[in-house]
Structure 1
């Protein structure tokens, strides 16, 4: 373990880390900061190659979270400087993560299960949706051009180490989005009840933008709605995705046959057998 002490706010590397509080710095340097003791521990245990270093103000604190021998460089800062990088005030060591590169979405890659398409502009919603995707077995999440950066601090706060449990890909803008033969399901207040829907074996799930929803003219196979009380017209975007994915996983065992039949009747399933 190599310890590098940083004592000045004018240190070039510290100034680089400070710029990781927004998408612009993350894109420029290909790095992001992940805070939270449990998150840092899980990344070091399961995804050590995605970590390029650790930031702390106390070696004893670091060793209490990661007791095994470290092979990553450690940047030791005065508490005052550390607090400037601890964007969420956790007081725990911070992992410096490698970001990307992300593959471009290619419909031919997807043959089974759900691929989630996200246009969310709120990074907290992106993070919550990624966490739900990882929890319910979604293998790919496609971030449309409108979407917030998945390694934004607010996104990482919601997603935590689950950011590495599903493949993140990039896609087109929502206005230019389409699928060729992959059934596309969209979340809409005017759709079919998602709790009774039988999902196809392979499909894309698209949630609309916060507020405007899904643009007119988008060609989708089915729209799905989450039942709510009459005086409530919408859910938090990230929560809605989580509920829909839960319903999908719940329906797999007893609904696969019906879902395949519905897709065959629409002539859209044969390419995904």
Structure 2
């Protein structure tokens, strides 16, 4: 694989890579950026297609043997900073191709119904990876799963599990027809304590929007509605925390 040095701010590749901080260009080019040595290594060892690894001159000098199996671009620290979303980058990032989406092939998934916060989204991806879930599904209107903040919050787990985006009520109906049991997490009159919830081999667990919860349409589609019992004064839990508690409870049934 090649090592190419780029020192000009007019370079077309660098200008293209800098645009990947914006969703419209991630969609247009089918690429996203992941920053940091650990995350780049996760990308390199995953099934994702790494377009190239970009390094500062200083990082390359001290890590010349790393990522040798990939095309590498070496540039100045100043130009490297134009590609970064973080304020104190480690001097290395990967430009990665957005994977093609497939039909569901796993057993258990989290479905994010209008989740807006990147931290919550990344936490759910990380917890799904930790608790053995097959993947995380994002509805239309949810945060972009390949945004820099979601990638960082997932701590590399974005490269380990299935991800699906722009899924709606029709998707869930098709999933039901495919044998998936739909469980929604919501404070509802007919909801079941999660300690008593139904846990099956093929199941999708729905977590609702931070402010509005699970949509009425999806609640009607759900086979079961569950809630997390709370003894304190808080009215609700952070969406990422609630999803993690739910996934931990499900993992106890293995």
TM-score grouping bracket, smaller chain normalisation: 0.7 to 0.9
| Residues 102-113 of structure 1: pairs in structure 2 closer than 5 A | 102-103=101-102, 105=103, 109=105, 113=107
4+ residue runs of structure 1 moved beyond 6 angstroms? none
**1:118 to 2:120 alignment:** no
Tell me the secondary structure at the aligned position of residue 167 of structure 2: coil
Q: Which whole-Å CA distance do the structure 2 matches of 1:130 and 1:34 have between them?
A: 15
**1:58 to 2:57 alignment:** yes
Per-residue CA deviations over 1:148-192 (Å, capped at 9, x if unaligned) read 221111110111321121112245325874333522111113332
Q: Which whole-Å CA distance do the structure 2 matches of 1:161 and 1:84 have between them?
A: 22
Tell me the secondary structure at the aligned position of residue 232 of structure 1: coil
Partner of 1:157: 152
Q: Which whole-Å CA distance do the structure 2 matches of 1:10 and 1:159 have between them?
A: 33
Query: Residues 216, 200 of structure 1: CA spacing in aligned structure 2 closer, same or farther, 3 A cutoff?
Result: same
Partner of 1:88: 86
Moved more, 159-168 or 204-213: 159-168
Q: TM-score, normalised by structure 1?
A: 0.80
Q: Cα offset for 1:206?
A: 0.7
Q: Which whole-Å CA distance do the structure 1 matches of 2:156 and 2:60 have between them?
A: 18
Query: Residues 49, 166 of structure 1: CA spacing in aligned structure 2 closer, same or farther, 3 A cutoff?
Result: closer
Query: Residues 5, 175 of structure 1: CA spacing in aligned structure 2 closer, same or farther, 3 A cutoff?
Result: same
Tell me the secondary structure at the aligned position of residue 252 of structure 2: helix
**1:214 to 2:214 alignment:** yes
Instruction: Give the structure with the higher percent helix.
Output: 1
Q: Which whole-Å CA distance do the structure 1 matches of 2:67 and 2:73 have between them?
A: 16
Partner of 2:68: 70
**Ranges in structure 1 where 5+ consecutive residues have no aligned partner:** 253-273
Q: Cα offset for 1:7?
A: 2.2
Tell me the secondary structure at the aligned position of residue 21 of structure 1: coil
Q: Cα offset for 1:50?
A: 2.2
Q: Which whole-Å CA distance do the structure 1 matches of 2:121 and 2:222 have between them?
A: 22
